[in-house]
Every structure is written in structure tokens, then in C-alpha cells.
Amino acid sequence: MSKQKPTVSRRTFLAGASAASSVFAFSIVPNTVFGSPSRQAPSDKLRVGNIGVGGRGSGFLRPGVTVAICDVDQDRLQKAAERVGGNPTLYTDYRDLLDQKDLDAVFVTTPDHWHAIMTIHACEAGKDVYVEKPACKTIEEGRAMVTAARRYARVVQVGSQGRSQEGAYHANKYIQNGQIGHVSEVRCWHYENPQTKWSPATPPPEELDYEKWVGPMRWFPYNAHRTHGSFRWLMDSGGGQIRDRGAHVMSVAMWIMDGDKTGPVSIEGKCDPYPEGLYDVPKTMEITYQFKNPDWTLIWAMPGEAHEEGFKWTRKSYGANYIGDKDNLIVSYGDTSETDTEQKAKDYQVPADGVQVFHSPGHRENFEDCIRTRERPIMDIEAGHRVATLCILGNLSCVLGRKLEWDPVNERVLNDEEANRMLFKPGRGEWHI
């Protein structure tokens, strides 16, 4: 049994978040980070730990780089070890992995309900973090993650990869340089949430430590259709397409619209009645977000109005239509599928006096560059938290059945204490921030 680490005080992290940001606007970095004539920098030959290696997580395993692996599923753990070779150290408790002193960074690619606590503990342990999207399950979790990153001077990249893909780069430089005029509305579309009938619980398989899989989440009996992969279709563990793909499509939108440090002032959600089957996310929804200074509207619609002209779709499509007062621009996908945009944006050349947009070398590559330079990555945890906030508030508006007036500075719902109480959920047992 691994030793228990001290829990992180929720009050400590949430108090003084803005002060923490200013303290760590710059930091003194030891020369072991950058290297010296007599010592190779760890960042020149990274040693990383991977936490959660099924599904999406398996794609981050790399021979010669992954030296520690953690998973609560023994089958997945052994397959990951075989994939990377070189006798990596194996763990079933992420806290033991974080105790390994020679790790430069960790990749947290677990189900959503583990993202916050693992990221916070990794920052506390002095590790840089790549955490999959959505950054967090609740808004207070997200703010605690930002505070931890700043307090411990850690690089934290959130895995909304669209910003690092060519289509998003071309769309951003095209829009930032006024080619469609003032953008007043961004309309996102996506196909519906899946639905399924009820099925009974079963004992968990022997290879899975189900107690650890549930961790900080409200406990429910094991069901194979609610666990690996399918956790996305439960409000407690995933939150549906808006928190899954919304964290990609709306990430690109917030980058293009320069919204990484702010949020909407109102959120109004409309959705189907909540189902009574195995999954509890509504089949369809439409969420309208209003922003101020500058004024613009973001709409997340399932299914919404798809725009497929001129694109070669190989499966169900999703993306966003950016509507300006001179023209509009379509940006498709936004995640691990190659983000695409219209040819007019790809062909556009920024003039010498135009707005230059950061051109990411790749999402993981950008993260690893920032480990070396100590700069903020393209999807820094503050941006990831702001995007996750959109997804969370959209679901919350639907659950409560009313419009929410939001204060993006203090991150509170105005004149609605019931809604504010739902911005945080206590962890289960020892698993809490």
C-alpha cells in the first residue's frame, strides 16, 4: 500500500489566486533546467511519467522518453510497459510515481474527474504537466490548478491540440488581420450525445482497481458501459460532447477571439429532457454565451448547422463558423483530427506590418519547448481553465433550466447562490483539493 500524501488545502489554493499569478510572472530557474557545459539539461533528454495509458493516453507513450507508467488497470499497465520497452517503473498509485525524483514532467491522460487533483499534486512535486482536456470537472478545481501552476512555477499545457494545428493557425492569422471584418458571432456545431438503455451493474474485472478508478468522484457500481471511454456520457465523470469536443472547438474559438483571460457575462442553455437510461447527458443542446468588451456571441449547438462544403469529411463533422461583418470563415474539427479551414485563409500572407500569430510546432512539441524556456505554452492552464468554464457553465445552465449571469473576474454567478454552490463538488474520501 502506498503512503498517503497530505491533501492540498482547497482554501489555500483558491485564496489569492491573482496574487500568485503576479508573484510568478518571472522566476529564477536553476541552471540544471537549461544545462551547462558540464551538465546536460534534463529538458534536452526528457524523462517523463505517464498517468493513465488507455485510449487517448496510450498515444503519449514514447520509447526512450517514458520511464515511469501508472494505471489502475493491470492489463493496460503491462501493455504500456511492453510498448515503450526499457523496463519503465510501473505504479498503480500516481502519488508514488510523483515521488520519483528524476522525472522532468508527467502526462495526465486519465478520465476527467482525476485531472485536477493529479495536476495539483504534480505541480507540488515539482513536475511540469501535460494534462488532457477538459482541464477540470468544476470551476473551483480549475482555478486551483492555475494557482498551483503559478505557485510552484510549473509549465502546464492542456491537451486541446487544435491550437497547434495548421488549420487553426491559418484561420487565426486570417481573422486577426481583419479579413472577415469584425467578428460578432461564432457558431459551433457538433453531432448529438449518445443515448443507451439501462443495463445492470456487474463486478469489475480482476485487472481493474475500480475503487481507485472512481477516486474523487461520487461512487457508483461498476458497469463496463460507464467506465473506460464511456465515462464521457455521465455528468459526474464526463459531461457529454460539450466537455469532450467542446473543449477542443471552443478552445480554438477562444484563441482566435483573444478570450484566454476572460469569459462570458451570460450563459443560456436549452436542451432535451435528461434521459433515464444508462447515460444522463441530454441528446441535443444549444448554449448561447454573450461576451462584453468586445461584444460577441459564442453558440455551441448539437447538432447545429454543419458546414461541409469544400471539405473531405471521413466521419461525422464538427467545427465552427466565424461570422464577420465582411465575410465568414469555417474552421473544422479542432482536436486530434487535423484542424482544417478554407483555402482563402491558407493562401493569405500576413503583410510586414500585419498581426503575427504564434505558429506552434505541435502541441506536445510546444510543451517540451516550454519546459526548456519556462515560457507559457499555447494552451496554458489559465486558458484551459477558461475553456473548461464554458463547458461547465453550459451544462449547469441546462441542469438548472435558466439563464446564468456570470462574473468572469470573480468567477461567480450573480444573484444565484444555488448555481454558485454547484461550482465545486467535494471529493470522495481522501481524494480532494
Q: CA 234 from chain center: how many Å?
A: 17
Query: Which ranges of the chain have pLDDT less than 70?
Result: 1-44, 309-315
> Which positions ≥6 away from 81 have C-beta within 8 Å?
69, 87, 88, 90
- What does the pLDDT read at residue 313? 61
- What does the pLDDT read at residue 276? 84
All structural domains of the chain with their residue ranges: 10-161+369-380, 163-359+387-421
- Measure the CA angle with vertex 187, ends 184 and 192; round to 5°: 165
Cα–Cα distance measured from residue 121 to residue 148, given in angstroms and rounded to the nearest whole number: 9
How many other CB atoms sit within 10 Å of the CB of residue 79? Answer: 16
Q: CA 230 from chain center: how many Å?
A: 17
Half-sphere CA count of 83, side-chain side, radius 13 A: 20
Closest CA to 409 of 285, 299, 264: 264
**Is domain 10-161+369-380 given the CATH code 2.60.120.10 in the classification?**
no
Cα–Cα distance measured from residue 347 to residue 349, given in angstroms and rounded to the nearest whole number: 6
Q: Which three cell numbers stand for residue 342?
A: 478554407
pTM, 2 dp: 0.89
Cα–Cα distance measured from residue 80 to residue 90, given in angstroms and rounded to the nearest whole number: 10
How many other CB atoms sit within 10 Å of the CB of residue 281? Answer: 26
The beta strands (E) that lie in 240-292 are given as 266-271, 285-291
Closest CA to 407 of 262, 245, 216: 262
Strand order across the beta sheet in which 128-131 lies: 89-91, 66-70, 48-51, 105-108, 128-131, 156-158
Q: State which amino acid sits at residue 325.
A: D
- Could you read off the pLDDT of 57-89 as tens digits, one per residue? 999 999 999 999 999 999 999 999 999 999 999
**Element (DSSP H or E) covering residue 242:** helix 241-244
Closest CA to 116 of 104, 101, 131, 126: 131
Place of cell 481524494: 431
Residues 95 and 77: beta-carbon distance below 8 Å: no
**Is domain 163-359+387-421 given the CATH code 3.40.50.150 in the classification?**
no
Closest CA to 387 of 181, 227, 162, 96: 162
- What does the pLDDT read at residue 312? 63
- Could you read off the pLDDT of 296-348 as tens digits, one per residue? 999 999 999 988 766 666 567 899 999 999 999 999 988 877 899 999 999 99
Cα–Cα distance measured from residue 374 to residue 150, given in angstroms and rounded to the nearest whole number: 12
Strand order across the beta sheet in which 296-302 lies: 340-341, 328-332, 319-324, 183-189, 296-302, 285-291, 266-271, 404-407, 412-413
The reply to whether omega before 30 is within 30° of 0 (cis) is no
- Measure the CA angle with vertex 339, ends 301 and 236; round to 5°: 50
